[in-house]
Structure 1
């Protein structure tokens, strides 16, 4: 039985840090429809993201702000993640995705000029992380319904970052080791901001 039940408050102490084997593990698919335990864990993950973006709660519980959290970041070998962010129009978007998979992507790529951050990484890592500008994701919701979702720009970056976690890949694995600010050649690539 998981400690991450519906009322559990995830804090930074629950976040697995880089160097842990679970972050380099290709996670196991969850059953569809998800179990009650899976749904409770997902609810706790989503609540953490909301709390981390709330100025009062993040200060009270000493939370770093996050927009995505994968199950293996809290030590669970499960193929699921939560995401919570504002879209281009400033509307809050929340996603609880089970067994997500990128089924198509654009040729064009983008990157965040200030690099990416990660709740599991306590140090600042500089360099460009090239990502697809647009992705289509197939996943399941908490009721077991199949979803097909399209993301572009920042939202696509968040989705790819979390999908990487589920495949044991860290964001800095994409940074050119010799030249951190060198981008791949042969593709159209632009800065997001």
Structure 2
């Protein structure tokens, strides 16, 4: 079981590396890691388990956060409408993105960042992602809103980018250009 002790923190050089593609078919070890990543997200959102094991709630996790520099991510969340999103992905890649941007009004957080970093993180309002599922089958996802923001955050981890890299250094609460309101997403 993955715990917070397994998650590397800001300052670890692995978080700034570009992760390597996973050779498919994935090994059993890589598949088990991906399953454990999803299990961590589920556990972190379960109040009793999270309290027992001192887990911080998370909606996404990238392998580099576990000091594994491979292109693997897990997502586990419900959007504003209660729709559930659950993904275990190898080699996810954004293949198209909207001109319109969005951001979370409360800012973003990260399991690898133990401090609050205030500011708006501009993200594309809509993204199209190609990846491979746990069985090595190709998948194409069209995501917007909260799930779209989450997948962009996790793919950034695969490219050595942390969420606060996107925050305007001069004015952290500058509304990003071309913003579409959440209701329009």
Same-fold call, TM > 0.5?
Answer: yes
Asked whether the equivalents of residues 107 and 188 of structure 1 are also in contact (C-alpha less than 8 Å), the reply is: yes
1:60 aligns with 2:52: yes
Q: Secondary structure at the match of 1:97?
A: strand
In 2, Cα distance between equivalents of 1:64 and 1:188: 33
Asked whether the equivalents of residues 85 and 147 of structure 2 are also in contact (C-alpha less than 8 Å), the reply is: no
2:86 alignment partner in structure 1: 94
For residues 17-44 of structure 1, the C-alpha deviation after alignment (integer angstroms, 9 at most, x for no partner) is 0000000000000011211111000011
Query: C-alpha displacement at 1:138, in angstroms?
Result: 0.3
1:188 aligns with 2:155: no
In 1, Cα distance between equivalents of 2:132 and 2:102: 27
1:128 alignment partner in structure 2: 120
Query: C-alpha displacement at 1:92, in angstroms?
Result: 2.7
In 2, Cα distance between equivalents of 1:176 and 1:93: 29
2:39 alignment partner in structure 1: 47
Q: Quickly say closer, same or farther: Cα 1:122–1:177, change in 2 above 3 A.
A: same
In 1, Cα distance between equivalents of 2:182 and 2:46: 25
User: Which aligned pairs between 1:1-193 and structure 2 lie closer than 5 A?
Assistant: 9-184=1-176, 187-190=177-180, 192=182
- In structure 2, the gaps of 5 or more residues are none
Give 4+ residue runs of structure 1 displaced > 3 Å after superposition: 190-193
Query: C-alpha displacement at 1:57, in angstroms?
Result: 0.2
Aligned pair count?
183
Q: Secondary structure at the match of 1:93?
A: strand
TM-score relative to the length of structure 1 = 0.92
- In structure 1, the gaps of 5 or more residues are 1-8
Q: Secondary structure at the match of 1:158?
A: helix
Q: Secondary structure at the match of 1:189?
A: coil
